[in-house]
Amino acid sequence: MTVATSDEGPAVPVTIRDVARASGVHISTVSRTFSAPHLVNPETRVRVLACAEDLGYRPNRAARALITGRTHNIGLIIADIANPFFPPLIKAAESQARHRDYHVFVADTNEDPTAEEELVHALAKQVDGVLLCSPRMSNSLIEQLSREVPLVVVNRQVTGLPCVLMDVGQGARAAIEHLIGLGHRSIALLGGPRSSWTNREMRRAATTAARSGGVELTVLGPNAPTETGGLAVADQVRRSGVTAVLAYNDLMAIGLIEGLDALGVRVPQEVSVVGVDDIALSRLTRPKLTTVATPTGAAGRTAVDMLLQQDIESPRGARGPGAGTALGVRRTTAQVMLQTDLVIRDSTGPGPHARPARPLAAPPGPDPHCPAGPGVPTAATGDAVAS
Amino acid sequence: MTVATSDEGPAVPVTIRDVARASGVHISTVSRTFSAPHLVNPETRVRVLACAEDLGYRPNRAARALITGRTHNIGLIIADIANPFFPPLIKAAESQARHRDYHVFVADTNEDPTAEEELVHALAKQVDGVLLCSPRMSNSLIEQLSREVPLVVVNRQVTGLPCVLMDVGQGARAAIEHLIGLGHRSIALLGGPRSSWTNREMRRAATTAARSGGVELTVLGPNAPTETGGLAVADQVRRSGVTAVLAYNDLMAIGLIEGLDALGVRVPQEVSVVGVDDIALSRLTRPKLTTVATPTGAAGRTAVDMLLQQDIESPRGARGPGAGTALGVRRTTAQVMLQTDLVIRDSTGPGPHARPARPLAAPPGPDPHCPAGPGVPTAATGDAVAS
DNA sequence: TACTTCACTGCAAACCTTTGCAGGGATCAC
DNA sequence: GTGATCCCTGCAAAGGTTTGCAGTGAAGTA
């Protein structure tokens, strides 16, 4: 380890006043040079700019925000940055924001609802709005927080708030039908976090699809939405005697496959596995993962658009002329539902020709109605969920 | 898609003044209630707190920062958030920061030096310091930016700035020696991004180790540090006739294995592959990846510590008493080098008993000195790199 | 009683910037 | 020559908060 001393430290901060003094004009002229150049004489402008450059002046964005009410920042709160599901969403959001001259600040909550709330507070006055992705806190808390800072919720339906949803219900249905079509009659659903909206939607849709397909559905969980979570239930899956599994997400599916492999259970020969998300990794595992692709990029872009739209409509901090009547700003809130796609790869295969090989298997469901009729449409009709 | 209208929008912002009015005290008392509670009468305090609670008051952190000069935020700039190398670093940094009552804002640059620079400017006045991880811009630009906001650099050596480095030189050496020990005589190094400090260090150390081991080292690259980057060079690797490869990082190693697999080349039977980073994924691929484990968590924690330490020493925005003499603040800068570890798993195996099977193989190096002597120590002696 | 001490609170400046308003000077038309 | 118009610039308030200083009243001490 080297230790050195230097006096190249952050220089004394140079403010608009320093530039004004150096260029012999009033600070308001300097201000205008940067925020409304057309209002200042070209000659003055170049002089001011030269001085600014010379002194290394940069407008203080915090001070500017204090008076304009706009920071040109967007906060992005996500449950777990280690989940490869999120990076494409983040990148899409950042790219979209950049086009609109906004910056995105990302924060990770470690799936902790308390951290989520605290982060919203922390970000509140430093950003123009927050994108809340796969939140773990309650709907009522989200509504309450939305009075503090404009919010757009991703992967959760909150009435009265703009939401970006992915139709995992349809995806789960497609997955179950795919498995039924392959001849599976006993299927497990690996649940994710309890407070996840996606989790509830999947469960509902999978249950419906299984019922109308006349097959048995075992729900295992809740589980941590990670490889470890999937790994941990491998033994339970094996003993349950199911021949196919729909996992809450790809990470769990991958962990499960790993766990089954360790137990000597082959995928897809003995057990078929379907994930959700279509993370980049799902193309790299062996077997390549059959999964429900979710439009993460579109979700990020859409969320930014919705936030900025609502943001532009109602300039921040606008006190009513009548001296602070507590009348909220009127605004429109839309909820968009993005489509999902089943991507069939190598982790699903034909169901057992005979009964399940494992002795502990529960008997198949008693009343098979129709072989594989499309289930009741469940999209977009959900009420508020996730207490 | 549902569209609705609501007037539950963000309420009129409630300020310290509103609380003061409601509780019948001066704003300074309200301020003290929050930032110096011991200075205000307990009765007054509870009254003020009640009013604040009632009105839903939250101190405006931006305004506070304007006057105190401290935001209690840390910026974290990352080359590519999709690289699983970073999440553990991010999480460690966040956890460490939280203990010190700081928040971390993460931003991704897409490996784009321009975006990096812009982000530093954007963050400058909204955070107390920035952690620059695996930067892609020039050292001189970094030095220049460090005058705008306190900086700690991770994975890059910049003289005069606090740096957190991982000893990838030692790691690369250990990897090469491991391969030599297995009997490999013709090894390739898959290079990463040209402007990466890690890339240069690895190359230097690998070259030295190969030379002193008397084996041939082929450098392939630069390449994108992603699965795709690894996938893309698979054919080149095959044709080069090497029997072992050290990749710039795990992602490339995994992509390479995938690519070799597609070409019918078996790992590790025909070609051994070593990665760097030990991302979680490297335990899940098949074969499990042999890799140089880098202490990402420790790096994140250390970086936060170094930033906060330097930050505390020199309170921001302190103008000298002599009315703005441009004398920089004196501060200490340390450079720490963290150790790496070779983790041997299943992607490396014995070298060829005979000559390499492929016809195109280059002849082995002419002068084998010592079988596997430890190379010259290269740690911590590097000058500034990466123009 | 007079004086000190103490706890608490109010006053006002400060942080850095933006912006509505008004003033100054030049240009132009009549 | 007068008045209107226009471009540019300065003035000062505002945004929400912190903080050094001073002032108040009460308690304590002699």
3-state secondary structure B207-237: HHHHHHHCCEEEEECCCCCCHHHHHHCHHHH
- Between A44-53, B286-295, B368-377, the lowest mean confidence (pLDDT) is in B368-377
Radius of gyration of chain A (CA): 27
Cβ B317–A61 below 8 Å, yes or no? no
Closest approach of B127 to chain A, Cα-based (Å): 10
**Mean predicted confidence (pLDDT) in A335-360:** 80
Q: What is the pLDDT of residue A126?
A: 94
The residue among A370 and B343 whose pLDDT is bigger is B343
CATH architecture of residue range(s) B16-59: Orthogonal Bundle (1.10)
Six-digit token string for B163: 């740096």
Distance CA B161, CA B140 (A): 11
CB environment A75-90: b (16+ within 10 A), e (fewer)? bbbbbbbbbbbbbbbb
Per-residue pLDDT band for A311 (boundaries 50, 70, 90) equals low
Distance CA B382, CA B320 (A): 36
Per-residue pLDDT band for A333 (boundaries 50, 70, 90) equals confident
Mutate to test the interface with A, among B108, B139, B143, B144 (most CBs of A within 10 A): B108
**Mean predicted confidence (pLDDT) in A35-50:** 95
Cβ B81–A106 below 8 Å, yes or no? yes
In chain A, where does DSSP find H-type helix?
16-23, 27-35, 42-55, 61-68, 86-99, 113-124, 139-145, 168-181, 197-213, 227-232, 234-240, 250-262, 296-313
Distance CA A285, CA A90 (A): 23
B269 CB burial (10 A radius; 0-12, 13-18, 19+)? exposed
Fold of B68-166+296-315+334-338: Rossmann fold (3.40.50)
Q: In the 8-state DSSP scheme, what is residue A330?
A: P
Question: Is A165 within 8 Å of A337 (Cβ atoms)?
Answer: yes
Q: What is the pLDDT of residue A353?
A: 65
Closest approach of B279 to chain A, Cα-based (Å): 11
Mutate to test the interface with A, among B86, B89, B117, B125 (most CBs of A within 10 A): B125
A66 touches strand D (CB under 7 A): yes
Closest approach of B321 to chain A, Cα-based (Å): 12
Cβ A12–B319 below 8 Å, yes or no? yes
Distance CA B238, CA B232 (A): 11
| Distance, CA of A317 to C1' of D14, in Å | 13
Question: What are the pLDDT digits (tens) for A135-164?
Answer: 999 999 999 999 999 999 999 999 999 999
Distance CA A259, CA A364 (A): 25
Residue B111 has phi, psi (to 5 degrees) of 60, 25
At residue B311, the 3 state secondary structure works out as helix
Cβ B5–A331 below 8 Å, yes or no? yes
Residue B322 has pLDDT above 50, yes or no: no
Strand D nucleotides in reach of protein CB atoms, 7 A cut-off: 7-12, 14-20
Give the number of residues written for chain B.
Answer: 387
Nearest DNA or RNA nucleotide to A29 (CA to C1'):
D9
Per-residue pLDDT band for A332 (boundaries 50, 70, 90) equals low
CB atoms within 10 A of CB A38: 7
CATH label, A69-166+296-314+334-338, candidates 3.40.640.10, 2.40.40.20, 3.40.50.2300, 3.40.50.1100: 3.40.50.2300
Per-residue pLDDT band for B332 (boundaries 50, 70, 90) equals low
Cβ A4–B160 below 8 Å, yes or no? yes
Cβ B5–A150 below 8 Å, yes or no? no
**Closest to A179 (Cα-Cα) out of A99, A135, A244:** A244
A39 touches strand D (CB under 7 A): yes
Distance CA A171, CA A177 (A): 10
Distance CA A296, CA A339 (A): 11
Cβ B58–A148 below 8 Å, yes or no? yes
Same CATH topology for A69-166+296-314+334-338 and A168-294? yes
Question: Is A49 within 8 Å of A58 (Cβ atoms)?
Answer: no
B21 touches strand D (CB under 7 A): no
Closest approach of B239 to chain A, Cα-based (Å): 23
Distance of CA B340 to the CA centre of its chain: 15
Contacts of A281 in chain B (CB under 8 A): 281
A21 CB burial (10 A radius; 0-12, 13-18, 19+)? middle
Closest approach of A68 to chain B, Cα-based (Å): 13
State how far the alpha carbon of A154 is from the alpha carbons of A72, A128, A151, A300, B342, in Å.
20, 17, 10, 8, 40
B16 touches strand D (CB under 7 A): yes
In chain B, where does DSSP find H-type helix?
16-23, 27-35, 42-55, 61-68, 86-99, 113-124, 139-145, 168-181, 197-213, 227-232, 234-240, 250-262, 296-313
Question: Is A71 within 8 Å of A126 (Cβ atoms)?
Answer: yes
Distance of CA A35 to the CA centre of its chain: 34
CB environment B86-115: b (16+ within 10 A), e (fewer)? bbbbbbbbbbbbeeeebbbbbbbbbbeeeb
Distance CA A232, CA A92 (A): 33
A335 touches strand C (CB under 7 A): no
| Distance, CA of A41 to C1' of D6, in Å | 13
From the list A82, A103, A126, the residue facing B62 with the nearest CB is A126
Nearest DNA or RNA nucleotide to A16 (CA to C1'):
C16
With a pLDDT cut of 90, the percent of chain B lying above it is 79
Q: What is the pLDDT of residue B284?
A: 81
CATH architecture of residue range(s) B168-294: 3-Layer(aba) Sandwich (3.40)
Six-digit token string for A248: 């809450």
B27 touches strand D (CB under 7 A): yes
Q: What is the pLDDT of residue A331?
A: 52
Closest approach of B222 to chain A, Cα-based (Å): 22
Contacts of B347 in chain A (CB under 8 A): none
Return the amino acid letter for B331.
R
**Mean predicted confidence (pLDDT) in A102-124:** 95
A316 touches strand C (CB under 7 A): no
**Mean predicted confidence (pLDDT) in B74-85:** 96
Q: Could you say which residues 66-95 of protein chain B have a Cβ atom less than 7 A away from any atom in strand C?
A: 66-67
Six-digit token string for B58: 């939250």
Q: What is the pLDDT of residue B4?
A: 45
Residue A5 has pLDDT above 50, yes or no: no
Residue A4 has pLDDT above 90, yes or no: no
Question: Phi/psi class of residue A110: alpha, beta or left (left: φ > 0; alpha: ψ in -120 to 50)?
Answer: left
Q: What is the pLDDT of residue B377?
A: 32
From the list B5, B63, B87, the residue facing A330 with the nearest CB is B5
Question: Is A188 within 8 Å of A238 (Cβ atoms)?
Answer: no
From the list A63, A160, A317, the residue facing B66 with the nearest CB is A63
Cβ A103–B122 below 8 Å, yes or no? yes
Per-residue pLDDT band for A217 (boundaries 50, 70, 90) equals very high
| Distance, CA of A39 to C1' of D7, in Å | 8
At residue B21, the 3 state secondary structure works out as helix
Residue B358 has pLDDT above 50, yes or no: no
Nearest CA in chain B to A381: B2
Nearest DNA or RNA nucleotide to A68 (CA to C1'):
C18
Nearest DNA or RNA nucleotide to B19 (CA to C1'):
D16
**Mean predicted confidence (pLDDT) in B259-275:** 96
Distance CA B35, CA B46 (A): 14
Six-digit token string for A226: 């990670």
Contacts of B100 in chain A (CB under 8 A): none
**Mean predicted confidence (pLDDT) in B225-231:** 94
| Distance, CA of B26 to C1' of C11, in Å | 9
Per-residue pLDDT band for A323 (boundaries 50, 70, 90) equals very low
**Closest to A295 (Cα-Cα) out of A252, A358, A348, A337:** A337
Distance CA B8, CA B6 (A): 6
Cβ B73–A160 below 8 Å, yes or no? no
Six-digit token string for B341: 């570890």
Distance CA A140, CA B147 (A): 45
Domain residue ranges in chain A: 16-59, 69-166+296-314+334-338, 168-294
Residue B186 has pLDDT above 50, yes or no: yes
Distance CA A147, CA A143 (A): 7
| Distance, CA of B17 to C1' of C6, in Å | 28
Residue A152 has phi, psi (to 5 degrees) of -125, 130
Residue A186 has pLDDT above 80, yes or no: yes
B17 touches strand D (CB under 7 A): yes
Return the amino acid letter for A51.
C
The residue among B360 and B159 whose pLDDT is bigger is B159
Distance CA B138, CA B114 (A): 11
Return the amino acid letter for A384.
A
The per-type count for chain B, helices as H runs and strands as E runs, is: 13, 13
Cβ A105–B110 below 8 Å, yes or no? no
Size of interface A-B (CB pairs under 8 A): 243
DSSP of B252-287 = HHHHHHHHHHHTT--TTTT-EEEEEE--GGGGTSSS
